[in-house]
Amino acid sequence: MHEKTDIDPALKEGFQRCGCQLVERLLPRIVLIPEEEDSIASLIKFADEKRLRICPTGTGSSFPANYEPPEDLIFILTTRMNQLLELKLLDAIAVMEPGILAAELAKRLAGTDLD
């Protein structure tokens, strides 16, 4: 199993410029929390430049305890992006951010024709 190591300062700076917070307690896995949608777009461009792969994760994601991610893999934790953005009842459309939990969505749709 990997020991906790520091991440290259240039990568840290790049992640911050993208608007992502690095979760240091999960090193050597690189776990980032984007501040907003634009942060994800910036991060995708940055990851492409640095030849990094991205794995979106949330509270429903799990990995075996002995899982050692590849060095070029970064995880995006989207749980803070949990808002219902638009609800069009007549069209049966709900637009939401990627981190919304199914239980939270069900709660917000309760009492509508979409529940």
- DSSP label at residue 36: S
User: What's the CA gap between 3 and 19, in Å, rounded?
Assistant: 27
Rounded to 5°, the CA angle 36-40-42 comes to: 110
User: What's the CA gap between 69 and 49, in Å, rounded?
Assistant: 20
Report pLDDT for 80: 82
Report pLDDT for 15: 92
- Summarised one tens digit per residue, pLDDT across range 91-109 is 888 888 888 888 888 888 8
pLDDT band at 1 (very low <50, low <70, confident <90, very high): very low
Burial state string for 86-99 with b = 16 or more CB within 10 A and e = fewer than 16: eeeeeeeebebeeb
Report pLDDT for 82: 82
- Summarised one tens digit per residue, pLDDT across range 13-56 is 999 999 888 887 676 678 898 888 888 899 999 999 999 999 88
